[in-house]
Amino acid sequence: MDLNQQNYNDDAIKTLKGVEHIRRRPGMYIGRLGNGDNPGDGIYVLLKETVDNSIDEFSMGYGKQINISIENNEVTVRDFGRGIPLDSVVKATSELNTGGKFDDTVFKKSVGLNGVGSKAVNALSSSYYVESFRDGESSWALYNFGELKDSGKKHGLGEKNGTLVRFTPDQEMFGRYNFNMDFVETMVKNYSYLKKGLTIVLNGTSYTSKNGLLDLVQESMSEEPLYAPIHLEGEDIEIVLTHGSAYGENIASFVNGQNTRDGGTHLAAFREAIAKTLKEFFKKNYAPEDCRQGVVGAISIQIQEPNFEGQTKTKLGSTYMWEKPKRDEAGHIVKNPDGSIVIDRGPTIRTFVNDFIARNLDNYLRIHQEIVPVIEEKIKASQAEREEISGIQKKTRERNRRNVIYNSKLRDCRYHFNDKLPKGKEDQGEKSSVFITEGDSASGTITKVRNADNQAVFSLRGKPINCFKESHKKVAQNEELNLLISALGVEEDLSNLRYNNIIVATDADDDGMHIRMLVLTFFMKYYPELIRRGHVFILQTPLFRVRNKKETCYCYSIEEKLNAIAKLKTGVEITRFKGLGEISSDEFVDFIGENMRLDLVKLSDEESINDIMEFYMGNNTVDRQNFIRKNLRSEKELEDVNMDENVVG
């Protein structure tokens, strides 16, 4: 009898109590763990889930200030809302599917609706303390690793109503993590832009906004817009729109105060509505991509019971403004003759957004006639350039395919980011990655050990063109970059992106660094939104292998190398890796698996792309040389390492 079959009995059936399931399967609740280097890492999700509860209180008209402090990785959030009902503090923070947000008369348009948020924070924290203040009394509870340690009540207090939460994310879960305060500040600023009248105090600094999304767009633009941003507000919707001179689109999107950095149905509707309205206003059949080229803007909508794709709520999946069971006058759920529940649906998000923009943007343009020729000139310029470049790119791609270059450049994977994936394979889209490598050796190594389900490899031949110095026409003629764009699937629209993670994997030497900069320059100039949305990464590979007869350590820095030498003590052999091809396939499989180290390529909205590229890729030789001299680490630190092998006795 098969051993696995033999052991499958009643004892194998487990019931996980309380928040134990969250600790067993954290990815189901917060998406990813991470160490704080990426704004999507779990520690920021824990912070967001906590603050979301306070934001929802403000949205319902309670509490105009939220205080947040982060010190030594301990987070404290104090709001001045209604406070959790005193007899429900323990249930609300430890029992799954328990919360006030299932009742849409209490929380009409909140972010967290599934009764999980505070429970996830509790479960994934080494210490979690919550105290609710109501009318001079309070109820409190203290947890360690999701287990209740103590609770009680206090009386005769002078505290204002509201809720205090203090937690420390569990190092057992997140490893050696740190909060990046730039990420936290961006989160706090977004909250303030979306909730006019709310003040958020972060570590003593106050953030508030008088003009909502208009402040967000104006404060984040690094270059002068072609015309003053258009700001339109309506019930449950707010938009800002202008055009700039950069390539691509830069549109922030929000739902019920949640930053949906991966967009969704509302962003798709906004992009469609911009093009449709401008085409109808000018009575010309302009291509949608020309109407949107250089668009900078933002959209925020409020809907009931939003359906987000994934617990991290970064992409809206809802089709309707609301969708819930229909009830009769007595409050009973109405059912069809076959017993199924009758669903009460509002207008589609697409219709709602399109109607609002068609009406209000058209009116705005008729009143502000001075900006009309500016917009049309931008559209025409985009059209002329697109048609010229499109023809060049088409010829280049056809030549590449005739020369059988295309298939040899890309070793594809089975599942992709925007595919409709089979049941049970949905997470493969989130994991889908493409490694951009240089040379046959590195490409061959990664291809041999990759996970063919979700990891693809694109092989560059030599150094790409410097996109900053060359014309768009010459860049369009470059076969390497044309094939890369075809592989990514973004020839027509970024929404067709085939891989969630674009990973630049080059050698740790001068040539490798140069190739990395050239690839990033291409993305920054022509596809900056891929960077802004957190899709572009740099693969870290070990610089050293330190081993003795019993143990091997792979080290990504000189500090790690020294620690490994001290740990292994005697008979230590050190190898310095310079190229990816130097690392054997057996070793490399560990570096692109679940624990691979990735550096997120970050680009904030307020950073000028042109200034960055001018400094790093332009002709300012003296300034760049001075920067290198100031920041270059001394080669003397490597003098004790033979480039092949060295033995420490």
Decide if 609 contacts 603 (C-beta within 8 A): yes
- Residue 493, Cα to own-chain centre: how many angstroms? 19
What structural domains and CATH numbers belong to the chain?
A: 20-207 (3.30.565.10), 213-382 (3.30.230.10), 404-539 (3.40.50.670)
Three-state secondary-structure class, residue 605: coil
Strands 572-576 and 646-648: antiparallel
Alpha carbons 107 and 89: distance in angstroms, whole number: 17
For the record, the structure tokens of 199 come out as: 């003040």
Q: What local confidence, expressed as pLDDT, does residue 506 receive?
A: 86
Helices 213-220, 181-194: crossing angle, 10 deg rounding: 140
DSSP 73: T
Q: What is the pLDDT of residues 90-149, one digit of tens each?
A: 888 887 655 544 445 444 455 544 446 788 898 899 999 999 999 999 999 999 998 899
Angle formed at CA 110 by CA 109 and CA 113, multiple of 5 degrees: 115
Rounded to the nearest 10 degrees, how much is the dihedral formed by the CA atoms of 369, 374, 375, 380?
A: 130
Rg, Å, the chain Cα set: 27
pTM: 0.73
Q: What local confidence, expressed as pLDDT, does residue 25 receive?
A: 75
Query: Residue 381 burial by CB count (10 A; 0-12/13-18/19+): exposed, middle or buried?
Result: middle
Q: What local confidence, expressed as pLDDT, does residue 168 receive?
A: 95
For the record, the structure tokens of 59 come out as: 């949205």
Alpha carbons 111 and 316: distance in angstroms, whole number: 11
Alpha carbons 220 and 608: distance in angstroms, whole number: 10
Decide if 219 contacts 239 (C-beta within 8 A): no
Q: How many CA atoms lie within 13 A of 407 on its CB side?
A: 4
* Nearest of 519, 512, 557, 532 to residue 434 by alpha carbon: 519
Strand partners of residue 438: 460
Q: What local confidence, expressed as pLDDT, does residue 270 receive?
A: 96
Name residues whose C-beta falls within 8 Å of residue 25's C-beta, 6 or more positions apart in sequence.
none
Q: What local confidence, expressed as pLDDT, does residue 588 receive?
A: 82
Alpha carbons 442 and 583: distance in angstroms, whole number: 9
Q: What local confidence, expressed as pLDDT, does residue 81 receive?
A: 92
Alpha carbons 294 and 70: distance in angstroms, whole number: 37
Amino acid at 587: E
Backbone CA torsion sign across 370, 375, 381, 383: negative
Query: Residue 644 burial by CB count (10 A; 0-12/13-18/19+): exposed, middle or buried?
Result: exposed
Residues of the chain with pLDDT under 70: 1-18, 96-116, 310-313, 396-408, 604-611, 613-616, 618-620, 623-625, 627-649
User: Cβ atoms within 10 A of the Cβ of 485, count?
Assistant: 16
Q: Write down the residue that tokens 């509002």 correspond to.
A: 346
Amino acid at 9: N
Q: What local confidence, expressed as pLDDT, does residue 628 receive?
A: 65
| In the chain, % of residues over pLDDT 70 | 84
